[in-house]
Structure 1
Amino acid sequence: MIIIGGTATNGIDERVSRLLNLKLIKVEHKVFPDGESYIRIPEQINDKEVVLIQSLYPPQDKHLVDLFLMIETLADMKIEKINVVAPYLAYSRQNRRFKEGEAVSVKTVLNLIRKSGATSLAVVEPHHYEELEYFDGETRVIDPIPDIGKVISEKTKGPLVLAPDKGALNRAKRLAEILNTDYMFIEKERDLNTGEVRVKNLPELKVNGRDVVLIDDIISTGGTMVQAISMVKKQGAKNVYVSAVHGLFIGDAYSKLIQAGASEVIITNTIPQDPSKVSVVDVSDAIARTI
């Protein structure tokens, strides 16, 4: 088996290659003057199985097209098993039709990955596990929560683990079990026209003088987290640690979290991060374990 490093790996391909002691082939790539992608696998591959690592962080559309080109090129090279590892899976939040006529974006993306020639797909903490059923092949979920838990356990003992909505409750539960502590969630609702998120109810949390860890899969604009931070701070939380698997941090999202009262932001490296701002948890070990 060989590791193929795609055009968007954030160094994860190199670390996984070292951890598993597998040969790494880096894809050659460039962008033509008209914006189109050029892809080349620079070596003839004799192995029948490869692991292609390609994250799909912004610019998502370019990285997706690169992925399709790489998969089909490997298929043309007669590779029998093309195992795609996507540390961040773009379009995963549009996993069903919220309004009539909407595209189910993640379904389209997963269909295209499969039809390009991928035989299996592994994703780091997808938005919804069931959306992987759209991929007509073997799928695996890479769980980074134990690695996040190790980092948090060094910073606080017995915090309340809080999910910013019911959909993130499973993550909160898994993290709380690692930290040997309690957990709960906040109810929220989203306006389907504007996309605005607001807290639906404000539960009475026994957090006065206590640390709180907020956990979610994605931080995009940070709106949901900001509301949650403000809520627990008003109820007397001591320190608020904000954690997520995928940190997009659109616009001034990071600044909003800090201004709202976050003590620290803990994020994995599925998307490139600024280590001077956030604590970065490497998912390479989790990926290597899954492979």
Structure 2
Amino acid sequence: MRVVLISGSSHPALGAAIAKVLNLEQGRCIVDRFPDGEHHVEVVEEVRGCDVYLLQTLGPPVDSHLMELLLMVDACRRRGAARVTAVVPYLAYARHDRRETGREPLGARLVADMLRVAGVDRLVAMDLHSPAVEGCFNIPVEHLSAMPLLADHLQRTATPSSVVVSPDLGAVKRAERYAAQLKLPVAVVHKHRTSGSQVQARRITGDVEGCTPIVVDDMISTAGTVEAAVNALLEAGCAPEVTVVATHALLVGPAIDRLQRLPLRRLLTTDSLPLPMRPPFQVEVVSVAPLLARSIELLRLGSQHGG
């Protein structure tokens, strides 16, 4: 079965990198807008009977990129694609995996249902905010992790005085995985969220005095969690030379200003999302194109053998 890789407009550079690894030419797709703001999507590539992979990371503007992906899926289905896999390195609404007050929607489940109804057969995502999000999908989910790639990169500079820090309780398991690979101790910051972008750190579990902190998380949105964690670490006597690691660098709202104010040695991230601008601090980017290309290749082989 012929494989077709088509990129949406959210991250064409990553699509090109994946295509290069797979030695494929990207499928042709026209994406623009009608005068009233509606999306116009036209899949020019011949996809009848093909195994189609649609790359669309769901960074800002989230709703626009999501709608574009849904239209791309529908277009491929109506052109006779045999199978459609959505490759979504960053899955938006993944933080909406539970209802805190009983008055909110379950956004992760809604997005999952929309993708399934549009015609997606399988989802490839990376470092979901919570493993529980997989349970929102009634289609197979390939949940990849960039953690081994990022940890390999960290091994070049980590020292025995380094400590891996979870900025909140939700990231403890992730921090433990980094620490195990790096053979370093773990510390945990206990936080209290006061609003969508404001966070207070209450206490730290673990010995951090004199240590060089490596703060790890799945994503950085407004950087409120990172800012609170780093300030708490500095008050506890950490060395003012901080490494922040996150798979997904959204860097929205006050994120750049917050990170700029910190004694940030570097931000280590991936190209799951395009950087919104050139930040005024050191950023090291590890490409996930080989990881995503490998997943596509394995899924292609699986389809050939009836998987």
Determine if the TM-score, normalized by the shorter chain, exceeds 0.5.
yes
Hey, what does 2:289 align to over in structure 1?
284
Hey, what does 1:250 align to over in structure 2?
252
Hey, what does 1:36 align to over in structure 2?
38
The worse-fitting range, judged by mean Cα deviation, of 166-175 and 49-58 is 166-175
- Cα displacement string for residues 93-142 of structure 1 (whole angstroms, at most 9, x for unaligned residues): 11111112210111101110111000000111110112122111110111
* Cα distance in 2, alignment partners of residues 34 and 279 from structure 1: 40
Hey, what does 1:181 align to over in structure 2?
184
Q: Secondary structure at the match of 1:63?
A: helix
* Cα distance in 2, alignment partners of residues 195 and 100 from structure 1: 21
Question: Across the two proteins, how many residue pairs are aligned to each other?
Answer: 289
Q: Secondary structure at the match of 1:168?
A: helix
1:1-291 residue pairs with structure 2 within 5 A? 1-158=3-160, 159-191=162-194, 196-203=198-205, 205-208=207-210, 210-238=211-239, 239-273=241-275, 274=277, 277=281, 278-291=283-296
Letter in 2 for 1:226: E
* Cα distance in 1, alignment partners of residues 230 and 96 from structure 2: 26
* Cα distance in 2, alignment partners of residues 194 and 125 from structure 1: 21
* Cα distance in 2, alignment partners of residues 60 and 203 from structure 1: 35
1:249 to partner: Cα distance: 1.4
Q: Secondary structure at the match of 1:201?
A: strand
* Cα distance in 2, alignment partners of residues 170 and 202 from structure 1: 16
* Cα distance in 1, alignment partners of residues 96 and 147 from structure 2: 23
1:146 to partner: Cα distance: 1.3
Contact map agreement 2:242 2:263 (CA 8 A) in 1: yes
Give TM-score, length-normalised by structure 1. 0.93
- Cα displacement string for residues 47-66 of structure 1 (whole angstroms, at most 9, x for unaligned residues): 43111110110101110110
Percent pairwise identity: 27
Give TM-score, length-normalised by structure 2. 0.88
Change (3 A) 1:16 1:257: same
Q: Secondary structure at the match of 1:233?
A: helix
- Cα displacement string for residues 177-225 of structure 1 (whole angstroms, at most 9, x for unaligned residues): 221222232222334x7664322323352331x2210011111111111
1:176 to partner: Cα distance: 1.6
Q: Secondary structure at the match of 2:94?
A: coil
* Cα distance in 2, alignment partners of residues 190 and 235 from structure 1: 20
Runs of 4+ in 1 over 6 A off after TM superposition: none
Q: CA RMSD in A?
A: 1.8
Contact map agreement 2:52 2:81 (CA 8 A) in 1: yes
Q: Secondary structure at the match of 1:25?
A: coil
* Cα distance in 1, alignment partners of residues 246 and 52 from structure 2: 29
Hey, what does 2:303 align to over in structure 1?
none
Contact map agreement 2:168 2:191 (CA 8 A) in 1: yes
1:15 to partner: Cα distance: 1.1
